[in-house]
Amino acid sequence: MKTTEISTLAWGCFWCLESAFAQLPWVIRAEVWYAGWTEVNPTYEQVIYWSTWHREAMQVVFDPGLISYDEILVQFWSQIDPTDDGWQFSDRGFNYTTVIWFHTSLQEKIARESKKRLEDSNKFQKPIVTLILPFTTFYPAEEYHQKYYSKSAFRYSLYKKWSWRTDFINKNWNEEAKEYLRWKDAYLAKKYVRPSKEELMAKLDTLSYEVTQNKWTEIAFTSSYEKDWNSWIYVDIVSGEPLFSSRDQYDAWCWWPSFTRPISPHFIKSVEDTSHSMKRTEIRSKYWDSHLWHVFNDWPKEEWWQRFCINWAALRFVPKEKLEEEWYWEYLYLFE
């Protein structure tokens, strides 16, 4: 079961790369390196004076269960001028040009789709020139460059301001980056348009309809999938929104399927439920608003665990072998 993923990126001065990622909660580790050329262990002087063809770069180690690779790339785009193939802001030279290095074929596919999405947005009048390349070599930068933004905070803040990067980000990306994320929300909302009542009744059997639309609760142990914890994901039976993975499934002795977390919080929303004289947190799918059931904080095995207790009748399972066929290829990493 894969619990971490690596992203390798170049977007100009690596001090700015590291500061953009290292303090975010879903990043496990962020380090600055020299990437993309064969000479072993280059020095900073060799790189900046073009004695070698390395770029200043960074590797981000992250938990793909908390943040997707696609969202890593959104953060990447929102820190750069992707139309400049000669420098980034005041830093001139090949070593400061922008690159996404992919580690797997899935990362390559996601990166190319992310770049095309930016191109199709017509945000910039000039072409997007950021390269997408296979990962090759990577050598650590000197220790004094690691966490430079923190070790030399004042000098770093002056550098970032006078390099014109801050002005560019504020002008072109601050709100636009948020809008870009909202654009993704709008795209998904369009993809998962809620059908009419008549269409739902024709699509679902009686139990699934009543559970997802009228908040019924199925009888425990009534599903044939109760103990089948193979390599698959569970999606909303109505819309297909990806919800849970068998890797996060466990036996909570509550008679209904339980999960420690959703595949992504992007497809889940919570609602306060005060029915039956109780105060609980109801879980619903974000876009089609299907009732799934509840989440509880009563499972003490690990302090970060929650118990997402879900009705089987609200779920459809998609096995690993069919993830690409059904356009869930982004979740193949769960079973590597």
Choose one of 143, 158, 189: the last residue of a domain.
Answer: 189
User: What pLDDT score does 315 carry?
Assistant: 92
Q: Which of 233, 215, 217, 213 is nearest to 225 (CA)?
A: 233
Give the pLDDT confidence of 221-272 residue by residue, as tens digits.
666 554 556 788 999 998 888 999 988 888 777 778 888 888 887 788 888 8
Which residues, at least 6 apart from 310, have a Cβ–Cβ distance to it below 8 Å? Answer: 234, 243, 244, 256, 257, 258, 259, 283, 292, 293
- Give me the pLDDT at residue 207, please: 92
pLDDT of residue 244: 92
What CATH number does the domain containing 47 carry?
3.30.1060.10
Same domain, 62 and 115: yes
Compute the mean pLDDT over every residue in the chain, rounded to the nearest whole number: 80
- The verdict on 70 and 143 lying in the same domain is yes
Which of 141, 164, 189 marks a domain boundary?
189
Answer whether residue 102 shows pLDDT above 90. yes
pLDDT tier for residue 7 given thresholds of 50, 70 and 90: very high
Q: What is the pLDDT of residue 131?
A: 94
In angstroms, the CA 169 to CA 256 distance is 48
Pairing of strands 98-102, 131-134: parallel
What is the number of domains present in the chain?
2
The residue type of 106 is: L
Catalytic annotation, pick one of 13, 16, 254, 309: 13
pLDDT (tens digit per residue) in 13-31: 766 666 777 667 678 888 8
| 161 and 227 both lie in a single domain | no
Per-residue pLDDT band for 101 (boundaries 50, 70, 90) equals very high
**108 confidence band (pLDDT: 50, 70, 90):** very high
**Average of per-residue pLDDT across 286-299:** 82
Which residues lie below 8 Å from residue 255, measured CB to CB, with a gap of 6+?
Answer: 220, 221
Of 142, 161, 189, which residue is a domain's last? 189
Query: What average pLDDT score do residues 41-51 get?
Result: 72
pLDDT of residue 186: 58
Task: Report residue 252 as tokens.
Answer: 């909570």
- Between 293 and 243, the higher pLDDT residue: 243
The better pLDDT of the pair 214, 96 is held by 214
Question: Rounded to the nearest 5 degrees, what angle is found at the Cα of 261, between the Cα atoms of 258 and 263?
Answer: 110
Alpha carbon separation from 110 to 98, 130, 233, 294, 304 (Å, rounded): 17, 14, 19, 32, 29
pLDDT of 181 over the 60 cut: no
Mean pLDDT of 285-305: 75
* Residues 203 and 69 placed together within one structural domain of the fold: no
Residue 128's pLDDT band (cuts 50, 70, 90): very high
Residue where the block lists tokens 């199925």? 218
Region 204-228: what's the mean pLDDT?
A: 80
The residue range of the domain holding 52 is 5-189
List all residues 6 or more positions away from 86 whose beta carbon is below 8 Å from its beta carbon.
92, 93, 97
16: annotated active-site residue: no
Could you identify the residue written with the tokens 């302090």? 303
DSSP helix/strand/coil, 277: helix
On whether both 90 and 72 belong to a single domain, the answer is yes
Give the pLDDT confidence of 85-97 residue by residue, as tens digits.
Answer: 877 776 676 777 8
d(CA 89, CA 96): 9
Query: How many C-alpha atoms does 302 have within 13 Å on its Cβ side?
Result: 9
The pLDDT of residue 214 is 92
Helix (H/G/I), strand (E/B), else coil: 62: strand
Those residues whose C-beta lies under 8 Å from the C-beta of residue 167, and which sit 6 or more positions away, are 161
Q: Does the pLDDT of residue 1 top 50, yes or no?
A: no
Residues 18 and 157 in one domain: yes
